[in-house]
Amino acid sequence: MTPSSAAPAKDSLHPSLSLLLLLVLVLAGVCFSLFLTWVISAALYGITDLNQMGVVLGAPRNHPHGWALLMWAQGLMLLLGFGLGALAYARLRRLPVADYFMPRRPLPWWWPLLAMLLIAVSIPALSGLIAWNAELHLPAWLYEFERWARLKEDQAQDLTNFLTRFTSPGRFAVAVLVVAVVPAIAEELTFRGVVLRQFTRWTGSVHWGVWLSAIVFSAIHFQFFGFVPRVVLGVLLGYLFAWSGNILVPMAAHFAQNFLQLLLLYLQQRGTIQFDADANEALPWYTMLFSAVLTLGLLYWLHQRRLTASSAVPAEMHTITGRGVAVAAPVAGEAHTLSSHGVAEAPGPQPRA
């Protein structure tokens, strides 16, 4: 018996309560991360007053250690809030962590690589959507909301520009860790690992689970004029998790998305390339069309590999479904379905006559 089928995973809590529990754990982790940030600011930068730390984080440009402290704050918040919160949820619900987040093991080596390739080839196609959403204007009766949203968008962009000002290779390496590696791990554990699964349990549909978790994923960033492209990114990441059955796949894709943006900015700042990676401009239509065709083709191929793997019935294979995580086995009685009722036996293939 393999580790992924050895321990029953029972999650009888209603999905709405599960999501509420996750929210409490994430908020607790965020509070703990703020405390650790204060400890670090006092030990490394001599900032012992909490109010002073808040001032530095609010206007990091005005403090010599603003960039470093902001990186500490962002990295710890993601790691301890979202990452540890998702892991704590699985532990509190007595769900085997490896089985919950990686129900399909071992993972074919090409899944993470193709997930990263998918994100890379989709970037030109998404540029048109990014440009459209950035220039979107709301009806007149939502003028006040639009003005507030654009102010917040400008503030967020200003902060992003400050964080991605790479004055040295060392700063670029730190940014890769905090902006690419940590979010890929922490956000995927939360939004695909837990939120997607709970919405799937709640609605009985993996498609609803993918889309609802993508909407929450985009909304939590509080950037209205980048909302739609981020939903699309969340949908891609969600289906990658649903089809592969392993959280490492969307983690790899998420990392690729953030790393490529950082790399383009770094090369631009060094004068290696002239492309403005921060501009919300659509690429030429033929580039976007070619990118869209490649993206859809790769998505179809990955979906077919998922279907092929399901029909082939390997020695042990897990697939996320509307009822939870189905584990198919070649012998009747050895398959299990992870659902809100625990682990139940599911029939395997019938013997041939």
Tens digits of residue pLDDT in 333-345: 333 333 333 333 3
Give me the helices (H) in the chain, please.
3-6, 15-45, 50-58, 66-76, 84-92, 97-101, 110-134, 143-163, 169-175, 182-187, 197-203, 206-219, 227-244, 248-269, 285-312
Give the tokens for residue 102: 């990686």
272, 280, 247: which is closest to 97 by C-alpha? Answer: 247
| Strand partners of residue 344 | 337
Looking at the structure of the chain, the number of domains it has is 1
Q: How far is CA 203 from the centre of its chain?
A: 21
The answer as to whether 353 is a domain residue is no
Output 13 or 1, whichever has higher pLDDT.
13
- Structural domain including 267 reads 3-346
The answer as to whether 80 is a domain residue is yes
Q: What is the torsional sign of CA 49, 54, 58, 64? A: positive
The answer as to whether 83 is a domain residue is yes
- Distance separating alpha carbons of residues 67 and 71, to the nearest angstrom: 6
- Distance separating alpha carbons of residues 268 and 282, to the nearest angstrom: 18
Task: Provide the 8-state DSSP code for 352.
Answer: P
Q: How far is CA 12 from the centre of its chain?
A: 25
The answer as to whether 183 is a domain residue is yes
The answer as to whether 214 is a domain residue is yes
261, 248, 253: which is closest to 234 by C-alpha? Answer: 253
- Distance separating alpha carbons of residues 313 and 307, to the nearest angstrom: 10
| Strand partners of residue 342 | 339
- Distance separating alpha carbons of residues 269 and 192, to the nearest angstrom: 33
Mean pLDDT across 155-161: 83
Give 272's pLDDT tier (boundaries 50, 70, 90).
Answer: confident
Output 190 or 8, whichever has higher pLDDT.
190
Q: Residue 140 contacts by C-beta under 8 Å, 6 or more apart in sequence?
A: none
- Residue identified by tokens 């860790």 is 177
Task: Record the pTM.
Answer: 0.84
Whole-number mean pLDDT of the chain?
A: 84
The answer as to whether 192 is a domain residue is yes
Give 309's pLDDT tier (boundaries 50, 70, 90).
Answer: low
Distances in whole angstroms, Cα of residue 78 to Cα of each of 30, 73, 75, 187, 206: 8, 9, 5, 7, 26
| Predicted pLDDT at 339 | 37
The answer as to whether 21 is a domain residue is yes
Whether the CB-CB separation of 335 and 346 falls below 8 Å is answered with yes
Distances in whole angstroms, Cα of residue 144 to Cα of each of 133, 150, 156: 18, 10, 18
Cα angle 262, 264, 266; round to 5: 65
Q: Residues 100-139: pLDDT tens digits?
A: 999 888 889 999 999 999 999 999 999 999 999 988 888 8
Reported as type and span, the H/E element at residue 318 is: strand 317-321
Mean pLDDT across 297-301: 95
The answer as to whether 274 is a domain residue is yes
261, 125, 127: which is closest to 184 by C-alpha? Answer: 261
Select the highest-mean-pLDDT range: 49-58, 263-272, 283-292.
283-292
Give me the helices (H) in 59-180, please.
66-76, 84-92, 97-101, 110-134, 143-163, 169-175
Sheet holding 342-346, edge to edge: 317-321, 324-328, 335-339, 342-346
Whether the CB-CB separation of 226 and 133 falls below 8 Å is answered with yes
**Measured torsion, CA atoms of residues 89, 90, 94, 99, in degrees rounded to the nearest 10:** 170
